[in-house]
Structure 1
């Protein structure tokens, strides 16, 4: 696929080596920009279980040229099965492919996805500097001067803040923004071998703590569970995580019950509180712009946080390639992304509130189905 070259900028800094930052770096580098990417982790690692990849997210990865690698190392399915928490089947949400040659939906282990993207970053000769963040940014209409945590300073045509929900770039440059707000829920995740009867993704609804299972490889799945947030002053030990999650699954049947009965202390288990925020406009100032969780942090209810970050990286590069006026390009990027991200965040938070209120699982299913349909629209 040929892409338009970017003539308005020659050198860009991407702060944050996660999914959104790598998507932006790849998209810019493919259009001729000299990209430098920094990440605070000296090992450039990623933690986590699996990740659900919806059709719209697969479409975005196809534009990055990474679809075949994801298909080869992940798992592809065509629907999501919805159940009452006791295992009673409700309905199937068929997910037809949104364009020819594109799988409907799927999943992949998050570390595998990061490795695929990291390989593409290396192939494009993007300069990667690790164990590094930013301490100061001075920006104007023409450039940004950046001071790093190692004391060095460099100048760039554009700085992209893709450094997570706790963005340092946002804190330094965008005083009108604030931290993501807690939603009252927490998310449990476990990575485990695939239940023998599992064929596709499954959701279990109608419980105070709904859960779902995503196939991530031929014999590997991850299960998530959403609960009212467990407020603690310290992190739970591995033993506490195991015992608590097993207890939370006590009422569940079907494959969720199978996971409860077959999970072991050796399976990877994680818990974290959920928060969300659609940052107010503008997402750009001078030659600095935000994307991903730094600008549009969402909860996992629509499995679209990663997809929104990848789309934002692609759209930013597309708009910079359309015009030599950088301010106009950044404004166009913002306008293309704002309402789509708002829909994802507001719907996700609404679904979470419904879950906390023990709402009707059929209403839950309708909200999910309608939102996923809207996401099929071009971005």
Structure 2
């Protein structure tokens, strides 16, 4: 009986210790982090500009974190994305500063700032070698609730229209879907900028509400279906690359372990790299082999008027704040250097 009593006591202690040990192991497992990220892009476009990198992140995170991807206007209208991210309604955003109405003075330079860039490689060079990264970090450091994570390049900005554009006079009165700052600039040439939900653009062209689109290059025109409802593509562009960024709610970003932050930034870089070759190859191939859009061109001498007007626009924007003036000065310095470098940097 004495032996049996000792056995039961020992078993009880062992069982309790085992239970405590199991509880300890269970409690030590980190809670899975789940984010909701909304992109500026609709489903067809997102398949290229972000989805491969998010899929890779979710796989590499091994269950420690999952990013749920939502498309343009799916959870929140694009123009309200910044405020929604501040409130924590969504956790992260892929877009340009201009479209999401970021309350910083550098927001006008996101998206398509007229003639700031000629090629997609200009964007990473400007951010990593000419100081734009530090300026963006400073600007967003003054805003509560949102952390700017980095920028990359997208495609150039061209007109895709129902009627041909062969001169500046052809721009007058055209109702065009475009970005806020690009629209303000193009209004100087008689363009009527129109803001619509992204998914409504194709139907708006079909119904005559829009005369065209100045929101992308030819790769996106074909990818998202706009080449099916427009007839002409203007080879002149007002910008060589869209500047887009990744943002996150600051509290949610702070909760992410360092190794997953590193993983997310690597996946951002993967997305930037994918777009470099996807757009660069697509822009050339579809001009030559696309078959749906007839190419038109405004003569260089006449288009020079637009380029000269852009410099005046730059100087007006520079007056908004000392930081804006600094960005404009960097654009001027960079483009002057590229002009002096000559081909292949500038022709």
Q: Give your verdict on TM over 0.5.
A: no
Larger radius of gyration: 2
TM-score in terms of structure 2 length = 0.30
TM-score in terms of structure 1 length = 0.28
